[in-house]
């Protein structure tokens, strides 16, 4: 469980996060949704500590992240996995070495145990016979799956996914979404997914938070989203004419 309390973040004079408070639940796929530039990525990066917040608190299972030392933060981060928007695979390493990297850095496993774990993770994301390939030789969907394998290789307690299906076709996007959701339930991870893709929201969203211009405007489930009266949420969810007509029929 991750608890965020009254966080503020400014870049120069522009307020990007304005008094955001939310709790992300364990074993659930928690979604942060909002328009491009609404502050979703900044929120997720602030929670991880890549953007230091100006004020507020962040708790990882009652561990106060903001007051931790750099060393303590580094240790906590070993319990995290992150799927980046552009996958962020190390392009000088093969798929096998990318997934193995966190184990090489931090685990005390033998080479055989590491190989077994890498194979398990690659199998879990349905990737076979690509271990010796480099990221540049993979498709977008495959890169995402390698990135998921790398994110889960250390059995993380927390999984962060920044726009996991950007640049993917709708079918592959759903495969990736379901993979994230399945892994979340299987390993009881606190997963936070940052997206503006409504297909993802309706496919895997268990707890959803809507953010608009850095302010949390709405929170609920994917069923609540269709009947909400929040103006900004409705503008976002029912943006197209087709979606507006569907809304009228509800």
- Which chain residues interact with other proteins by CB under 8 A? 45, 48, 50, 74-78, 80-82, 84-86, 88-91, 101-102, 104-106, 154, 160
Q: What are phi and psi of 23, to 5 degrees?
A: -120, 125
- Looking at the Cβ atoms of 89 and 204, the one nearer to other proteins is 89
Cα Rg of the chain (Å, integer): 18
Contact 29, 206 (CB under 8 A): yes
Q: To the nearest whole angstrom, how small is the minimum distance from the Cβ of residue 43 to other proteins?
A: 15
Q: To the nearest whole angstrom, how small is the minimum distance from the Cβ of residue 36 to other proteins?
A: 17
Residues 6+ apart with CB under 8 A from 6: 19, 20, 21, 55, 56, 57
What whole-number distance in Å separates Cα of residue 45 and Cα of residue 47?
Answer: 5
What's the CA angle centered on 26, arms 22 and 31, to 5 degrees? 50
- Looking at the Cβ atoms of 106 and 120, the one nearer to other proteins is 106
**Adjacency order of strands within the sheet including 55-60:** 14-24, 2-11, 55-60, 63-64
- Looking at the Cβ atoms of 40 and 82, the one nearer to other proteins is 82
Handedness of CA 35, 39, 42, 47 (dihedral sign): negative
Q: To the nearest whole angstrom, how small is the minimum distance from the Cβ of residue 249 to other proteins?
A: 42
- Looking at the Cβ atoms of 90 and 120, the one nearer to other proteins is 90
What's the CA angle centered on 223, arms 221 and 229, to 5 degrees? 90
- Looking at the Cβ atoms of 144 and 216, the one nearer to other proteins is 144
Residues 6+ apart with CB under 8 A from 196: 33, 34, 35, 36, 40, 163, 236
Q: To the nearest whole angstrom, how small is the minimum distance from the Cβ of residue 35 to other proteins?
A: 21
Q: To the nearest whole angstrom, how small is the minimum distance from the Cβ of residue 104 to other proteins?
A: 6
What whole-number distance in Å separates Cα of residue 68 and Cα of residue 63?
Answer: 9
- Looking at the Cβ atoms of 101 and 134, the one nearer to other proteins is 101
Beta bridge partners of 69: none
Beta bridge partners of 209: 32, 219
- Looking at the Cβ atoms of 11 and 235, the one nearer to other proteins is 11
């Amino acid at each position: 469980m991750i608890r965020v309390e009254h966080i503020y973040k400014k870049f120069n004079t522009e307020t990007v996060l304005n008094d955001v408070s939310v709790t992300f639940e364990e074993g659930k796929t928690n979604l942060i949704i909002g328009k491009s530039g609404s502050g979703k990525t900044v929120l997720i990066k602030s929670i991880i500590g890549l953007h230091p917040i100006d004020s507020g608190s962040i708790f990882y299972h009652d561990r106060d992240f903001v007051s931790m030392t750099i060393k303590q933060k580094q240790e906590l981060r070993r319990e995290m996995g992150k799927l980046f928007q552009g996958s962020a695979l190390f392009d000088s390493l093969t798929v096998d070495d990318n997934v193995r990297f966190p184990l090489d850095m931090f685990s005390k496993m033998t080479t055989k145990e590491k190989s077994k774990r890498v194979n398990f993770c690659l199998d879990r994301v349905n990737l076979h016979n690509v271990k010796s390939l480099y990221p540049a030789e993979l498709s977008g969907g495959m890169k995402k799956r390698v990135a998921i394998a790398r994110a889960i290789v250390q059995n993380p307690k927390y999984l962060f996914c920044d726009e996991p299906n950007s640049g993917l076709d709708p079918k592959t996007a759903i495969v990736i979404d379901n993979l994230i959701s399945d892994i979340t339930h299987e390993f009881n991870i606190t997963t936070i997914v940052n997206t503006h893709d409504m297909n993802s929201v309706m496919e895997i969203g268990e707890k959803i938070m809507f953010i608009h211009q850095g302010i949390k405007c709405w929170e609920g489930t994917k069923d609540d989203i269709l009947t909400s009266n929040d103006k900004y949420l409705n503008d976002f969810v029912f943006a197209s004419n087709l979606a507006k007509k569907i809304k009228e029929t509800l």
